Amino acid sequence: MRPRAYASLIKPDVTFLVVLTTVAGFYMASTGPLDRMKLLQTLMGTTLVAAGTAALNHFIERREDAVMRRTARRPLPLGILQPLEALIFGVATVLLGLSWLAWKTNGLASLIALATCASYLGIYTPLKKYTPWATAIGAFPGALPPLIGWAAARGSLGLGAWVLFGILFFWQFPHFLAIAWIYREDYARAGIRMLPVVDRAGGSTYAQIVVTSAILVPVSLLPTLIGMVGTLYFFLALLIGMALMVACLWAAREKTNVRAKWLMHATVIHIPVLLGLLMLDKLPR
């Protein structure tokens, strides 16, 4: 039971997204043959930092989790793990991951991972109880993992790294606002001021969803325009970007939980497909 509790503590779905985007950053930054060993070392360190950050988030939000139906069965609300256990596990895992990145890759990758963890836990997490703008602020640490991978591969950041940052930054709005709309009653119960909690009619929420999905379309085309990839990626990225925007407009028309769930699934499919196309079109180059 306790191993399963620790597995839940690291939020495997969120950690997987961090790892996926880190891989994309590393791969796109690589020149010549892919350094598979350094990639493995990068993933190990990043996974540890992401897992530890998730555990510390469980620790910080344990009281809110206890009153939300979606999170009430997490290890801390159920008492399977004690808060001190989660705290020790989280701190130790983050420190191990940061040290591993600094040792096996470079200091810049470790510093970006530290900034991701610190801004997520120290800025975004507490702000959720005070302002609906927390989602926008949280999009900054949420978009940093590709930069970890890029820095690990090159030891520096370039324009391509910031393009990947921009793609992930704007993608987060339709994804997380759709989730927040579905669970708005839960968030309200916990005193978390996500935008759908204060925007009961959904006008502002869905306006942000539609506008950011529209911005995401040209931003996702930038890799071709700056010479990272070719025209295959350009046209396929345009196609799936427009498809996501149509899904956002469709969800905005009725603003039901059912449509929001479909939109959430669409965003979950969109980002790995987009990153996969990006990496695929780099292969022959």
Write the pLDDT tens digit of every residue in 19-51: 999 999 999 999 888 999 999 999 999 999 999
Q: Quick one: pLDDT at residue 5?
A: 86
Quick one: pLDDT band at residue 2, thresholds 50, 70, 90? confident
pTM of the model: 0.94
For the stretch 188-237, pLDDT in tens is 998 999 999 999 999 999 999 999 999 999 999 999 999 999 999 999 99
**pLDDT surpasses 70 at 165:** yes
Delimiting residues of CATH 1.10.357.140 domain(s) in the chain: 1-156
Rounded to the nearest 5 degrees, what angle is found at the Cα of 93, between the Cα atoms of 156 and 163?
30
Interval 247-256 mean pLDDT: 96
C-alpha separations of 134 from 125, 139, 180, 189, 271 in Å: 8, 8, 12, 17, 22
CATH 1.20.1260.10 correct for 1-156: no
Q: Quick one: pLDDT at residue 283?
A: 66
Delimiting residues of CATH 1.20.120 domain(s) in the chain: 158-285
d(CA 5, CA 141): 26
| Mean pLDDT, the chain, whole residue set | 94
Number of residues in the chain: 285
Buried b (16+ CB within 10 A) or exposed e, 80-117: bbeeebbeebbeebbebbbebbbebbbebbbebbbebb
CATH 1.20.1070 correct for 158-285: no
